A and B are shown apart, each in its own frame.
Chain A
Amino acid sequence: MAEPSTPLGPGPLPAAPHGAAVAVDHAHHHPRLQHHFYSMEQQLEASILAMWVFLVTEIMFFGGLFMAYLVYRTLYPQSWLDGSSTLNVPLGALNTFVLICSSLTMVMSVRSAQVGSRRGQIVWLIGTILFGTTFLVVKYFEYAAKFEHNLVPGPHFSTAYIVEHLGRTGVDPHSTQLFFSLYFIMTGIHAAHMVVGIGLMTVILIMAWRGRFTPDYYGPIEVSGLYWHFVDIVWIFLFPLLYLLGLHGGHGA
């Protein structure tokens, strides 16, 4: 992404022997090609593979949280319904749609780089950042509501809101806190990933503004896009699992 690095020592690269797969010719190679790669294609493929390997670590990272969710929902299904009933479904659905829009703007910005439109990249990247920020703002209001209703686990936790405002009975003051602990941790860590994503997109935006990305060099924007879409996918699972449980008021699983 920066100027090409040179892990090489002094002196010119030796010419590759005859019959080698690829010959490296200093005079013609792309200025964005790092010296330990032999072609732009190899560099791009390596970067995409690398991002996917990183995303696998993210899948397992969130996976631990989903495991805790799975265990406790199995052990305390009623508390899960009670806790879920306090979540604002319209806001959650709006946020889901906001992230889906941000994924669209993201692919559009990558596409703009692929077709060589600098203006397109900038516009769509700004869109992505705006949608991401909207998501976080909505989240802020949701969290504020939880604090207001004393639904944050700890000494101030109270099931009063659930009992009085939502008319639910037999709410367990202990295991319901497990739900809220997981709610805050899962959505909080997701939000932290959004913040990182917005930061990343800002950097990419600056690079796009400077005209860094061309149809034959768009690796960083594509790879950052992969990260962004992943954060969207995590929310795609978080939304139904956290928000849509207690809707029908029944005693489903």
Chain B
Amino acid sequence: MSHTAHPIPSVRLYVTIWITLGVLTGLTVLAGYQDFGFANTVIALAIAVTKASLVVLFFMGVRHNTPLTKVTAIAGFVWLFILFGLGMSDYLTRHWIGVPGR
């Protein structure tokens, strides 16, 4: 699969993505000023993930890349979740044992 075989993205596409990213930034700031309780974090992360995906797919061109490159990109984030997930499994379950001081 050739990278050069795909049509070069248009300026309009890039500008659209740029505007979208700007709007999402504004949105995340606005949402930050509201009190949604725990949902604040969820919303902030959801917007961040969306922005990051737009950059990865369109600005970094992963849309056009080989499946191998796509797997590589995804693998990095999956590994991050292994670190977060298994690591937090310690901190979140420490108090289950009910021993004083633990």
A and B touch in the complex (CB under 8 A): yes
A44 and B3 contact, CB distance less than 8 A: yes
A66 and B72 contact, CB distance less than 8 A: no
Q: Which of A1-9, A12-20, A103-111, A196-204 lies at the binding interface?
A: A103-111
Kindly state the separation between the CA atoms of A118 and B52 in the bound complex, as whole angstroms: 29
Q: Does A209 contact B (CB under 8 A)?
A: no
A41 and B3 contact, CB distance less than 8 A: yes
Residues of A within 8 A of B15 (CB): 104
Residues of B within 8 A of A71 (CB): 87-88, 91
Kindly state the separation between the CA atoms of A103 and B22 in the bound complex, as whole angstroms: 12
Bin chain B's interface residue count. 35 or more
Chain B nearest CB: distance from A172 CB in Å? Answer: 18
Q: Which of A41, A237, A240 contacts B2 (CB 8 A)?
A: A41
Name the prevailing secondary structure of the B interface residues. Answer: helix
Residue of B nearest to A238 (CB): B48
Name the prevailing secondary structure of the A interface residues. Answer: helix
Within 8 A of A (CB), among B25-49: 25-26, 28-29, 32-38, 40-41, 44-45, 47-48
Chain B nearest CB: distance from A125 CB in Å? Answer: 15
Residues of B within 8 A of A222 (CB): 61
Q: Does A59 contact B (CB under 8 A)?
A: yes
A244 and B56 contact, CB distance less than 8 A: no
The verdict on A241 contacting B91 (CB below 8 Å), with A45-B66, A89-B29 known, is no
**20 further interface pairs, Cβ-Cβ under 8 Å (given A74-B88, A97-B25):** A41-B2, A41-B4, A44-B4, A45-B3, A45-B66, A49-B68, A53-B72, A59-B76, A93-B25, A100-B18, A100-B21, A216-B4, A222-B61, A229-B59, A233-B51, A239-B48, A241-B44, A241-B48, A248-B40, A249-B35
> Which chain B residues have a beta carbon within 8 Å of chain A's beta carbons?
2-4, 8-9, 11, 14-15, 17-18, 21-22, 25-26, 28-29, 32-38, 40-41, 44-45, 47-48, 51-52, 55-56, 59-61, 65-66, 68-69, 72-73, 75-77, 79-80, 83-84, 87-88, 91-92
- Nearest first, the 9 A-B pairs at minimum CB distance are A244-B32, A56-B76, A240-B44, A59-B76, A248-B35, A104-B18, A253-B38, A247-B32, A250-B35
Please, could you name 17 A-B residue pairs with CB atoms under 8 Å apart, sorted by A? Answer: A41-B2, A49-B68, A53-B72, A66-B84, A70-B87, A75-B91, A89-B32, A93-B25, A97-B25, A104-B14, A104-B15, A104-B59, A114-B8, A229-B59, A236-B52, A252-B36, A252-B37
